[in-house]
Chains A and B, each alone.
Chain A
Amino acid sequence: MLTYVLKRVLQSALVLLVVGLVAFSMFQFVGDPIDNMLGQERTDADIARLRTELGLDQPFPVQYYKFLENAVQGDFGVSYRQGRPVAEILVERAPATLELAAVSGFLAISIGIGLGVLTAIRKDGFLANAIMSLSLIGVSLPTFLIGILLIYLFSVELGWLPAFGRGDVVHIGWWSTGLLTGSGLKAIILPAITLGLYQMTLIMRLVRSEMLEVLRQDYVRFARARGLKDRTVNFRHALKNTLVPVITVTGLQLGSIIAFAIITETVFQWPGVGLLFINAVQFVDIPVMAAYLMLISVMFVGINLIVDLLYFAIDPRLRTDGKGAH
């Protein structure tokens, strides 16, 4: 078990290193930050001086090495655009994105699993068929279109919910939360639905097909033959066995909720790290881009590690060390 975790952590570190290398090799092609940073009246000498100062005259592996050297000490450099430390900007922006991701992740998992179980148990019912048909919309419509449609309906036509921004926030230490104010809660509804709809339909369809498979198993038939109540059979025996593959996909999807937040944040002008990244790309703000990409990969790798450990918690067959097998 411990060997396994150690192995996984080492693998994760390797993945992070490779992601960083690929990211830095691509920064060569996003444009020249110097153009944006110096005004019209620049001289060649100014450009050369700034380039040396920022280390941009070095080949990218050297730039990457320097970034890593500073990053392990907690220093992610200074934003070219804002002139403030990147770490400070990220800390300021992260709560907005994490709150949005958490709310939409929660919606996606709870509604997704609930509807998945419902459609599996009432396989041929009218409601189940209606939900299955509607879910196609969630799978097939692109995120930005859903966002725009929701804004048009609920903000422009009905005027119930705000179309952009985060509403009022309350500061608790360094963390800023919109979940404790009325306007903050109202503001999060539309972006959370937009962001979570795709994951929700995906989880629902997955839970449904896994559940249908599990309901055909002998131990479910045997549980019914022992006269147990339908509710016990469906939830205690069937649902838990459904969860192992569902957790894998859900874990990956949670990562992409955070990553895909870029689009939703742009549509709703949500002041999170995704919007920060888009602005950084426009300005070729390399330190911000690098820090953001590393942050996202740490999250992805971390979530996957947690998913693998959850397997051990759910499935006793993985826990044994060969003792008492016979």
Chain B
Amino acid sequence: MTETLLDIEDLSVHFPTRRKLFVAVNKANLAVEPGEIHGLVGESGAGKSTIGAAVMGLLERPGHIAEGTVSFKGEHINGRDADGMRALRGAKISMIFQDPLTSLNPLLTVGQQLVETIQFHLKLSDADSKKRAIELLDRVGIPMPDERINQYPHQFSGGMRQRVVIALALCSEPDVIIADEPTTALDVSIQAQILELIKELARERQTGVVLITHDMGVIADTTDKVTVMYQGEVVESGTTEQVLGAPAHEYTKSLIAAVPRPTLKVHRFPQLSYGGRQIAFHIDDLARNWDRPEPTKSGTLLKVDGLTKTFLQSGSLIPSRRKYFTAVDKVSFDIREGEVFGIVGESGSGKSTVARMIATLYQTNGGKIFFDEDEITQLKTAKDLESYRRQIQMIFQDPFSSLNPRMRVDEIIAEPVKHHKLLEGDAIQHRVDELLERVGLGSEAGRKYPHEFSGGQRQRISIARALATQPRFLICDEPTSALDVSIQAQILNILKDLQEHLGLTMLFISHDLPVVRQMCDRVGVMRQGQMVEVADTETLFASPKEAYTRELLSLMPKLEGLSTEGLEDEIV
């Protein structure tokens, strides 16, 4: 009989504020056995990270454990004093954070940070500590560890940095690792490697792992058991197979139904909303007042030919010594009127750069862009571009930084209308009210400021702003990757409605292959600035031609064990 490593019983965490008591976690239970990976899943604000911080004794004040116990190998650890917690923290229980770009000190070398931690916990000599640091880097799969140990964090790529973070967490041979969204900030291929590493560690060293994530794909592929949280409470817990395959609780069902599947194409995501979060979107009303322009003769709305973009990498007074980096290299594709064209690729593949060149936010360094037979790349002055810019609008990834926090929502939505002088006087306010009404926020939302809205609501404001000029072409740059899965399902439904009812053409950029499969008619795969393959979505997913596409598809979580409850009527 193995001993339970970490046992959380009836844990409640309270954050008293001036107005009221905020209960972040309410009577949560969770147990981790040696060698087991226990997934903790839920949407933002569910309290999953708070549980991690509570176990580590790292709750931000005024948060505190109000009731319940946390036991490590049968011994209560909550209520220990600062020194007692420190003896445990890092030594027996380690933590891995989400963003490898910010969790390493930028001013110390990787070696200095490792040696410091090893010396503190294991009291080894300088030489032995360094030897162990190199062994650890080698263990987590960093090539040439004896050289790289003297480098600074910025000299490592994102995936390599996360390996360093894991090495740091392993310094003291912990029994439990709490991994808080360890792969959320990483590309899909890197994500697979890091998860594989965590699985290996759990198996070899019999480490217990608590894997906190919002990603059902990670849960399905990695964990043995899973606990689902909703608004601070555990709603369901059990083996991964059972919870994902036959969920018992309504919330788990709605969460699983909202996950985009790589193998099933749905018409719309089911609105199995839990907790009254479903918000109506009135596309029919919007379509009635929509001025549709004449369709193009050729059927092609946007044509991109040999598009190239270079960035200055290191400057020099002498032009011949300047180094350039080619972000986009002779990319060509065309988008038919009324279709959704997807671009997929890993970070740094140049997909966002392509979008920005089409939106005329970046100057091109070669190649041509045609929109409705006009060559856009020949237009130079802002005045010439005006009419083109009205017809294309953009929705950005981060709903928090893409709205000006000092402007009221109605001003934000009215701005493009005023800029292009489309309407005057009361008609502007009328259009703003109508748009807010249609995206399901209500016209009174116009008098508020962006910070009063949640991420999903903000993305609706972005959509309303993009629709204000009645565009023909919408560029969506990772529109849902910052959102929770149920909110993502709502936004994707809205975008599908826009395409279907308003005849909008879209460029949809994403790194998330299942989402692309749900959204796009055709897909282009980009890698290191080049377009590797362009094909119909179904063809691409069923029989990819290029090796790189096959590799990308093979890394995609399969999600085969997921319940299809609620999806039956929507499968295409």
Contact = CB atoms under 8 A, between A and B. Distances in A.
Interface residues of A, number: 29
A47 B356 CA distance: 71
Q: Interface centre among A217, A221, A315, A325, by most B CB within 10 Å?
A: A221
A317 B314 contact: no
A84 interface: no
Given A221-B97, A222-B97, A320 B105 contact: no
A305 B107 CA distance: 21
Contact of B105 (A227, A241, A322, A325): A241
Contact of B154 (A227, A232, A320): A320
B431 to A, nearest CB: 41
Interface stretch (B7-15, B116-124, B460-468, B537-545): B116-124
A317 to B, nearest CB: 5
Contact of A225 (B94, B107, B108): B94
B56 interface: yes
Contacts, number: 93
Interface in A204-229: 217-219, 221-229
Contacts of A321: 314
A322 B103 contact: no
Q: Interface centre among A3, A218, A317, A325, by most B CB within 10 Å?
A: A218
B105 A228 contact: no
B150 to A, nearest CB: 11
Interface string A235-248: 01100110000000
A326 interface: yes
Contacts of B94: 225-226
Nearest to A217: B102
Given A222-B165, A226-B117, A322 B314 contact: yes
A173 interface: no
A326 to B, nearest CB: 5
Contacts of A229: 86, 120
A225 B99 contact: no
B105 A324 contact: no
Interface stretch (B166-174, B278-286, B510-518, B550-558): B166-174
B336 interface: no
Contacts of A83: none
A324 B143 CA distance: 13
B89 A316 contact: no
A30 interface: no
Nearest to B165: A222
Contacts of A217: 102
A314 interface: yes
B95 to A, nearest CB: 4
Contacts of B97: 218, 221-222, 225
B105 A225 contact: no
Contact of A227 (B121, B313, B316): B121
B104 A322 contact: no
Q: Interface centre among B106, B107, B117, B172, by most A CB within 10 Å?
A: B107
A227 B91 contact: yes
Contacts of B165: 222
Nearest to A6: B317
B173 to A, nearest CB: 13
A222 B103 CA distance: 6
Contact of A316 (B90, B152, B171, B317): B152
B402 interface: no
B168 A228 contact: no
Nearest to B106: A317
Q: Which of the four size classes fits the interface of chain B?
A: 35 or more
B83 to A, nearest CB: 10
A227 B120 contact: yes
Contacts of A222: 95, 97, 103-104, 165, 168
Given A221-B97, A325-B155, A226 B106 contact: no
Contact of A236 (B99, B116, B316): B116
B571 interface: no
Given A236-B116, A241-B105, A315-B107, A226 B169 contact: yes
Interface in B398-438: none
B125 interface: no
Contacts of B104: 219, 222
A7 to B, nearest CB: 8
A3 B90 CA distance: 45
B58 interface: yes
A316 B107 contact: yes
A219 B155 CA distance: 16
A9 to B, nearest CB: 14
Contacts of A325: 154-155, 157
B102 A219 contact: yes
Nearest to A325: B155
B296 interface: no
Contacts of B313: 322
B323 interface: yes
Interface in B47-88: 56, 58, 86-88
B89 A227 contact: yes
Contacts of B454: none
A225 B56 contact: yes
B151 interface: yes
A226 B154 contact: no
A221 B58 contact: yes
A59 B89 CA distance: 75
A28 B155 CA distance: 57
Given A222-B168, A232-B116, A322-B313, A227 B90 contact: yes
Contacts of B116: 228, 232, 236
Q: Interface centre among B97, B105, B317, by most A CB within 10 Å?
A: B105
Contacts of A315: 106-107
A221 B171 CA distance: 16
A241 B99 contact: no
B151 A219 contact: no
Interface string A285-325: 00000000000000000000000000000111100111111
Interface in B91-141: 91, 94-95, 97-99, 102-109, 116-117, 120-121
A177 B99 CA distance: 55
Given A219-B103, A232-B116, A225 B95 contact: yes
Contacts of A314: 107
Contact of A218 (B87, B102, B108): B102
B91 to A, nearest CB: 6
Q: Interface centre among A314, A316, A321, A325, by most B CB within 10 Å?
A: A316
A227 B91 CA distance: 7
Interface string B140-153: 00000000000110
Contacts of B91: 227
Contacts of B109: 316
Nearest to B323: A322
Contacts of A317: 106, 152, 154
A223 B153 CA distance: 14
Nearest to B102: A218
Nearest to A323: B155
Given A225-B95, A226-B94, A227-B89, A3 B316 contact: yes
Given A221-B103, A222-B95, 18 more contacts: A221-B97, A222-B97, A224-B58, A225-B56, A225-B89, A226-B120, A226-B172, A227-B89, A227-B91, A228-B117, A236-B108, A240-B107, A240-B108, A241-B106, A316-B109, A320-B152, A320-B154, A321-B314
Interface of B: 56, 58, 86-91, 94-95, 97-99, 102-109, 116-117, 120-121, 151-152, 154-155, 157, 165, 168-169, 171-172, 313-314, 316-317, 323
30 contacts: A218-B97, A218-B102, A219-B104, A222-B97, A222-B103, A222-B104, A223-B105, A224-B58, A225-B89, A225-B90, A225-B94, A225-B97, A226-B90, A226-B117, A226-B168, A227-B86, A227-B87, A227-B88, A227-B91, A228-B90, A228-B116, A229-B120, A236-B116, A241-B106, A316-B106, A317-B106, A317-B154, A320-B154, A322-B313, A323-B155
Which 9 residue pairs of A and B lie closest in terms of their CB atoms, listed nearest first? A227-B90, A226-B90, A218-B102, A225-B95, A227-B89, A316-B152, A218-B103, A222-B103, A219-B105
